[in-house]
Amino acid sequence: MEFSTIDIQNMEQRYRARFINSLSGFKSVGLVGTVDSKGLDNLAIFSSAFHLGADPALLGLIVRPDSVPRHTLSNILDVGEYSFNHIHKSFIKKAHQCSARYDKLESEFDMVGLNREYKNGMKAPFVKESQLKLYLKYREHHELKINGTILIIGEVLYVKFSEDYLREDGSIDIEKAQSVTTSGLDTYHSTSQVMRLSYAKPDKELKEL
């Protein structure tokens, strides 16, 4: 079936949100841990994380200023640091519940029942239950005037995961870590590796690794 611009414009608002959110494919999802200058912390679910570069090591996040993660944005701008924590099958419901509109004084850690983990010299909390966690330093943000969303760019300062997940070539087996992916607004998926492929060159056959 086919949908034109007019079909999309005529969709009911929530219907359109579900439809359009499905189009980009499976998404990177994680919990972003932040703290404000008074020490109040916050945990928000993001399904818009993306790789921006390896040297320096940069991660991008998209924030809608009118949506739930607004505390995340102000905390990142205040304190300049945040954590990014993979989500696993064992705590999908708790992670999803972080998208509820809690009051600023209520920490999602307490509300959903996830545990804080702290590291020396790092202000923002990690999610203890997460098997792959990063710590980032805020580098810059861009307001995308087209719809008022904000792109936050952070530099990876620290990474923690079980050594079982590291392959010899530097890649991390995030499927072994049982990290999940999402589609649309509400669906969580586990993964099954189909194949790893060699670096592609013209006139050279790909090898399965």
Q: From 186, 187, 152, 159, select the one nearest 174 (Cα to Cα).
A: 159
Copy the structure tokens of residue 63: 């924030």
What are the Cα distances from residue 156, in Å, to 52, 54, 113, 134? 11, 9, 26, 7
**By CB under 8 A, is residue 120 in contact with its own copies?**
no
Produce one character per residue of 69-79: b if its CB has 16 or more CB atoms within 10 Å, e if not: bbbbbbbbeeb
* Sole window of 35-43, 70-78, 81-89, 122-130 interacting with its own copies (rule: CB under 8 A): 81-89
Residue closer to its own copies (CB basis): 1 or 37: 1
Q: Name the 3-class secondary structure at 121.
A: coil
Considering only residues 85 to 114 of the shown chain, the ones binding its own copies according to CB under 8 A are: 86, 89, 92-93, 96-103, 106, 111
Q: Report the residue from 58, 74, 78, 116 that binds its own copies according to the rule CB under 8 A.
A: 58
* Sole window of 31-39, 71-79, 123-131, 173-181 interacting with its own copies (rule: CB under 8 A): 173-181
* Sole window of 15-23, 32-40, 74-82, 122-130 interacting with its own copies (rule: CB under 8 A): 15-23
Contact criterion met (CB below 8 Å) for 22 and 184: yes
Residue closer to its own copies (CB basis): 35 or 136: 136
Q: Report the residue from 36, 38, 55, 76 that binds its own copies according to the rule CB under 8 A.
A: 55
